[in-house]
Amino acid sequence: MYVAVGQFAVTPRWEENAQKCVALMAQARQKGASLLVLPEALLARDDNDPDMSVKSAQPLDGGFLQLLLHESAGNQLTTVLTIHVPSSPGRAVNTLVAIRDGAIIASYAKLHLYDAFSIQESRLVDPGDVMPPLINISGLNIGLMTCYDLRFPEMALSLALKGADVLVLPAAWVKGPLKEHHWATLLAARALDTTCYIVAAGECGNKNIGQSRVVDPLGVTVAAAAEAPTLLMTELFSARIDLARQQLPVLRNRRFAPPQLF
């Protein structure tokens, strides 16, 4: 299965960001991808206003997603991204959506809010309370995660034990001392914890690192971006998953169940 990862800098205008997503969807489809992963919080971003993502929140039937759904109609490309959806006055839910053939086929409210490194996402964002679903693409089971979820190994493990072959991760990983090292290390660790492929899209710009990556089930980075906007393309192989799980049967060898998540 061919996957694409779209990396770009989100602007303060949702219409401009939607058109960028539409363009990446068209490119990914033309290149033969079955899955496109885009970054986190794509409605709007402003370096001078940290609350812009929440202030720009739209419902799932709002203009932003309608443009993307229109682009997806009539084809089998699955696109995964997150936007902020209004919850109560001045607050929102960081919501992952998977869209295909003109419809939302899955959604997930981010469980782990980024209250770390002097940032408090929970100040304006409400957490989810339900584990994300698995979706099937070309015979592979895809587990859904969002950004800070990456730091919680029990979540990735729970998805793998439910049958995930691939974990996808829209992200807006904030720059800072050692943060790029954390990103690369955690992506490889979650791949090795679960013997899943990891497909991670990072928002790039002045405050976020970009550095989108695809990591295979044995922790090998098979595609990677730097800081600039780009569209990565690579192929995922079910045989590679089978080999990893034969050589490194960590899912079978477990002696303890992961903590219960919701």
- Compute how many other C-beta atoms are within 10 angstroms of the C-beta atom of residue 239: 7
- Which pair of tokens denotes residue 225? 């971006």
Cβ–Cβ under 8 Å, residues 145 and 154: no
Is 227 marked active-site? no
Distances (CA, A) of 61 to 6, 44, 233, 252: 23, 17, 29, 42
Cβ–Cβ under 8 Å, residues 193 and 153: yes
Is 21 marked active-site? no
- CA 113-109-97 angle, to 5 degrees, is 125
Catalytic-role residue among 21, 40, 71, 203: 40
Beta bridge partner(s), residue 199:
168, 214
- Compute how many other C-beta atoms are within 10 angstroms of the C-beta atom of residue 54: 22
Beta bridge partner(s), residue 83:
95
Catalytic-role residue among 20, 21, 121, 147: 147
Strands 140-144 and 166-171: parallel
Is 147 marked active-site? yes
Catalytic-role residue among 20, 110, 121, 196: 110
Residues marked as catalytic:
40, 110, 147
